[in-house]
Amino acid sequence: MSLKKQGLEEKMEWPPPGERRERQILVFNVAMQELGVDLSYVREVLMPREIYPFPKAPDFIEGVIRLRGHLIALIDLRKRLHPNRTEENQEKKIIICQVNRLIVGVIVENLREILSLPLEEIRPMPRVISMQMEAEVISGIATVGERVIPVLNLEQIITKKMVGQLLPGEG
């Protein structure tokens, strides 16, 4: 006998009311703009350390750092996302991320906070804007009160090919 016939029909909500589906976003600044990245990419955050530059590397690749016996490619998000801006911020941090099965470091400015947001508070990029971008560098836009925080798609910003050019055998 079906639930409907027994009068036991109930509305099923998914996810169940006690299980809010959320996404955690690490918020930081790059070129005086508030941005975020999905926390699932983040492995650790480091203070600035010695960077070993590589000749003829693209401008946004700062070089490599040594971390527990490994060389980690280091990408400056300000130079990658805003190549024409020249201002420098002294409060830099290095976020170690796992992207496309690679461990890479990204340089950001002023770590802000970690937000836990319901999925409905992260909206897709407006189509008219995304059509003008070279790649899908934004995975969504988080709305927190009056704040609008673009959430970066690190898989488009940091490609295997890019890291492979810097560290042969990694791409």
**What's the length of the chain?**
171
Among residues 57, 100, 99, the alpha carbon closest in space to that of 80 is found at 57
Three-state secondary structure of the chain = CCHHHHCCCCCCCCCCCCCCCEEEEEEEEECCEEEEEEHHHEEEEECCCCCECCCCCCCCEEEEEEECCEEEEEEEHHHHHCCCCCCCCCCEEEEEEEECCEEEEEEEEEEEEEEEEEHHHEECCCHHHHCCCCCCCEEEEEEECCEEEEEECHHHHCCHHHHHHHCCCCC
Please state, in angstroms and rounded to a whole number, the distance separating the CA atoms of residues 76 and 86.
12
106 alpha-carbon distance from chain centroid: 9
Among residues 88, 94, 96, 98, the alpha carbon closest in space to that of 107 is found at 94
Query: What's the confidence (pLDDT) of residue 3?
Result: 45
Low-confidence ranges of the chain (pLDDT < 50): 1-15, 131
In this structure, what token pair is assigned to residue 145? 């009160």
Query: What's the confidence (pLDDT) of residue 134?
Result: 53
Query: What's the confidence (pLDDT) of residue 49?
Result: 92
Query: What's the confidence (pLDDT) of residue 7?
Result: 47
CATH, domain range 28-166: 2.40.50.180
Among residues 63, 59, 64, the alpha carbon closest in space to that of 85 is found at 59
Query: What's the confidence (pLDDT) of residue 157?
Result: 81
Query: What's the confidence (pLDDT) of residue 2?
Result: 46
pTM for the full model?
0.76
Query: What's the confidence (pLDDT) of residue 132?
Result: 52
Please state, in angstroms and rounded to a whole number, the distance separating the CA atoms of residues 71 and 78.
21
